[in-house]
Structure 1
């Protein structure tokens, strides 16, 4: 393979095809209602690992693609897209509800006999068996709309009504999948898990994240300064943690 070439044919699952220029990759999973643009402010490389945002169907440039409907479906389809791109060490980073399909994808890769990530980073999300405690699952549409507008403003963008309505369509479909998710008992994975707690997150407390300790032999909980959505700015402490697995 020549330097700078793509690893395989272009896939809609990636906003940019992983290159052959870096010895490792970090595949990044967005949170409910969002897409790969959640990582648009991240650097292209952290440490020596290329940042590879994953684009779920039914949003952004994949708006016309059918929604995945369940995390299990999403994991099964994504595993196939990932398979030819696992030719070097890799990690998963997943924020909020994105941690659940990321976890399911780790399980799916194992079922297929494919490589496991070197580490699974989960950010601001309770463990799968505690997923029903997600505050968004109990919010009204009015509350969800206000929350969505707040997140958009937090990114320095004034939310237009058409933007908000489109965002709500994606968010409500994603939340339907979240409500349908049922994993009542912990299932251990082969890779270490690093759990990130955002110090100023009023809704996802440190106690809520403790459930992840039942999911791997090695589970490390780290506290990062900032609020729930500050991961989008790739703060220095987060970059340091993400570079540390290598």
Structure 2
């Protein structure tokens, strides 16, 4: 036999999962998925802040940081397939999801796979800074030259300006950023049911990537409860309002008193 049995316990060396603040006694795990060009470390402070509520599993996509030498993944379905497979050893406890921007769609598609293939309904999906899966815009940032891609990052104010000015660093990271943009800009929601879990949508009132109507459209993606919270700010509103975002997440994940 060449097939190996699935691991019975999470491996600390797993390439996909970063567990910055281990909580072996936590009743729920929160899987956090980064934005296009983002990395697992984006969620370090959220992991620390939520340590009393959930064990955060921050996902590290290939092509960045300690996975810099690995080729990035250029489609959402392949990315969701890989994340789904990486999460199975961690599914001994309920898995909730938080995704920002592109990460919200990866979270949605991963949660769909867990429901469809394993019958695992997430305690909650938090979709931040991203329009609903079925809404469409024509976007071609991934087809721009390097200067155009950097200009987009600068416009969204989610990347350190010193990094954007460092041509050597940008030369190394732009391939993964371009691949991420290609993945999210070519994504089309596959047919089939949405989710059964509660969906919590968080957005900035000045986010150029999400209108209120596009955020509201997430309501159509769940048979469960839905709520929408609008914060002051743009696409990266959550860096300015981390305490409020953390409390929103914590309140939804806390056990309901009997």
2:97 aligned residue: 92
Distance 1:69 1:215 in 2: 24
Distance 2:141 2:239 in 1: 19
The alpha carbon displacement at 1:41 in A equals 3.1
Which secondary structure does the structure 2 equivalent of 1:122 belong to?
strand
Distance 1:106 1:34 in 2: 20
Distance 2:141 2:123 in 1: 30
- Contiguous gaps of at least 5 residues in structure 2: 1-8
The alpha carbon displacement at 1:116 in A equals 2.2
2:39 aligned residue: 35
The alpha carbon displacement at 1:231 in A equals 2.0
- Residue among 126, 132, 140 paired with 1:127: 132
The alpha carbon displacement at 1:131 in A equals 4.4
1:62 aligned residue: 67
Q: How many residues align?
A: 240
Q: How does 1:125-204 map to 2 (within 5 A)?
A: 125-133=130-138, 136=141, 141-149=146-154, 150-153=157-160, 159-183=165-189, 187-204=193-210
Which secondary structure does the structure 2 equivalent of 1:118 belong to?
coil
Confirm or deny: 8 A CA contact 2:142 2:149 kept in the other structure: no
2:18 aligned residue: 15
Confirm or deny: 8 A CA contact 1:13 1:81 kept in the other structure: yes
The alpha carbon displacement at 1:104 in A equals 0.9
Confirm or deny: 8 A CA contact 2:39 2:61 kept in the other structure: yes
1:229 aligned residue: 236
Shifted more, 64-73 versus 129-138: the winner is 129-138
The alpha carbon displacement at 1:171 in A equals 1.2
Which secondary structure does the structure 2 equivalent of 1:41 belong to?
helix
Confirm or deny: 8 A CA contact 1:127 1:211 kept in the other structure: yes
Confirm or deny: 8 A CA contact 2:131 2:210 kept in the other structure: yes
Distance 2:203 2:145 in 1: 26
Summarize deviations over 1:136-195 as a string: whole Å, max 9, x none. 4686643321232453236x7674111222232111111222233222667321111111
Which secondary structure does the structure 1 equivalent of 2:137 belong to?
helix
TM-score, normalised to structure 2's length?
Answer: 0.81
Distance 1:238 1:134 in 2: 28
Confirm or deny: 8 A CA contact 2:204 2:230 kept in the other structure: yes
Which secondary structure does the structure 2 equivalent of 1:28 belong to?
strand
Which secondary structure does the structure 2 equivalent of 1:238 belong to?
helix
Distance 2:83 2:27 in 1: 22
